[in-house]
Amino acid sequence: MISPPPNELFTAFSFIGFLTCAIPFYWHFQARNVGTCLYMVWTGLGCLIQCIDSIVWNKNMVNRAPVYCDISTRFQVALNSAVPACALCFQRRLYKCTTVTTGGATREEKRRDVVIDLLIGIGIPILQIVAQHVVSGRRYVIFEDYGPAPNTVSTPAAIPLFSAWPVAIGTVSFFYCVMNIYHLYRRKRQFKDMPVISSGSGINDRRLYIRLMLLSSVEILGTIPLGSYYISLVMKQGLTKWGSWADIHSYYSKIDQIPSIVWKHDYTSVVGLELTRWSLVLCAFLFFAFFGLAEEAWKHYRLVYTSLANRLGYSTSSNTTCSSNGAPTSSQLTDRATGGIVFAATPGPRRDSAISYSDQLSI
């Protein structure tokens, strides 16, 4: 028997996970980083839904909101492949940026890259919902202290239609991860004498490379092992012989309600449910660690802090400095604003998704 963490603890961490995805969303959306934006939307909304479920169904298993349960469980099914698919978008874009040897992409190529990212990050999860319905034996199942969860009948067809999707996507992502590390290593040796990237982003070259290589390594060490472990749990439970569509869906409208004393004493149920929801929180924290604490993020935090301080009537003169030529910095410009939140930006063309990372990599 495994004793899961207290439900209240997950409620707190899942809400924090939602905030960590919402905070960096503004500047990634402004930069049109499709893959990272989709990653934040899927992970952030997943944390929020799980947070709501842990509150509404804390110490009860009442079927109080059937329509919401349908939406929640379909979203959970989509998350099975959504997070790996968004990570694949991210790795694919990095691969293109790190292997560019000619001039910038044309407008048509940028538009095509955005469409491909949307097809991967949204299209694959939608297909996952459709495929899982084939082996879904119930609309949903309600677990006490957890909330509604999708029901997948453990048949041989469930492996390719549901369980194996993260592993398959992770395998493709594995290729991009290895190639990214290889190309980033080559560029690191090529530009090791350059202290700052020439794109004007102000990000230290070495720090950027280390951050991207670490993210690639986490992708390799995360998706495939966890997906394989989930498949092993399904196999250990034993597979039911596939009968027919009518046989699988014969009791589809019946809603099972499982008390906590039952599922918390079953090893497979505890690991499966807790691993599903806590992995979302881990994804949110990891993403914030890589992007929410970067130098670009701290610039936005300082601007927000300065604007809020002005609204409250506090002076921020001690936090403002001048540039080397005596011109006021963005913080000083914000101090002189009328009190609204101002995000100062360097004049220049808007970055498209296809070049947002290549700008930082000075490709």
- What are the helix and strand counts (H, E) for the chain? 15, 3
342 confidence band (pLDDT: 50, 70, 90): very low
Q: Is 103 exposed, middle or buried (0-12, 13-18, 19+ CB in 10 A)?
A: exposed
- Report the C-alpha gap between 199 and 38 in whole angstroms: 25
**Least-confidence region, from 10-24, 179-193, 321-335:** 321-335
**pLDDT(348) > 70:** no
pLDDT at residue number 347: 42
Residue 209: name the closest of 354, 89, 94 by CA.
94
pLDDT at residue number 259: 94
pLDDT at residue number 327: 43
**pLDDT(332) > 60:** no
pLDDT tens digits, one per residue of 160-170: 999 999 999 98
CA torsion, ordered 331, 335, 339, 344, to nearest 10 deg: -30
**pLDDT(47) > 80:** yes
**Least-confidence region, from 96-100, 252-256, 345-349:** 345-349
Stretch 334-349: mean pLDDT, rounded? 38
Q: What percent of the chain stands above pLDDT 70?
A: 74
pLDDT at residue number 337: 37
**Least-confidence region, from 46-50, 53-57, 315-319, 356-360:** 356-360
Stretch 72-89: mean pLDDT, rounded? 91
- Report the C-alpha gap between 58 and 42 in whole angstroms: 24
Q: Is 213 exposed, middle or buried (0-12, 13-18, 19+ CB in 10 A)?
A: middle
pLDDT tens digits, one per residue of 281-322: 998 998 888 777 766 667 767 776 777 777 777 766 544 444
pLDDT at residue number 48: 95
User: What's the per-residue H, E or C state across 249-278?
Assistant: CCCCCCCEEECHHHHCCCHHHHHHHHHHHH
Q: Which residue has the higher pLDDT, 329 or 353?
A: 329
Q: How many residues does the chain have?
A: 363
Stretch 218-240: mean pLDDT, rounded? 83
- Report the C-alpha gap between 18 and 158 in whole angstroms: 30
* Residue 102: count of CB within 10 angstroms of its CB: 6
pLDDT at residue number 292: 73
Residue 199: name the closest of 188, 208, 190 by CA.
208
CB neighbour burial string for 316-342, b if at least 16 within 10 angstroms, e if fewer: beeebeeeeeeeeebbbebbeeeeeeb
211 confidence band (pLDDT: 50, 70, 90): low
pLDDT tens digits, one per residue of 241-276: 887 888 888 889 999 999 999 998 888 889 889 988
78 confidence band (pLDDT: 50, 70, 90): very high
Stretch 84-104: mean pLDDT, rounded? 76
Q: Which residue has the higher pLDDT, 345 or 114?
A: 114
pLDDT tens digits, one per residue of 16-42: 999 988 888 877 777 777 888 898 999
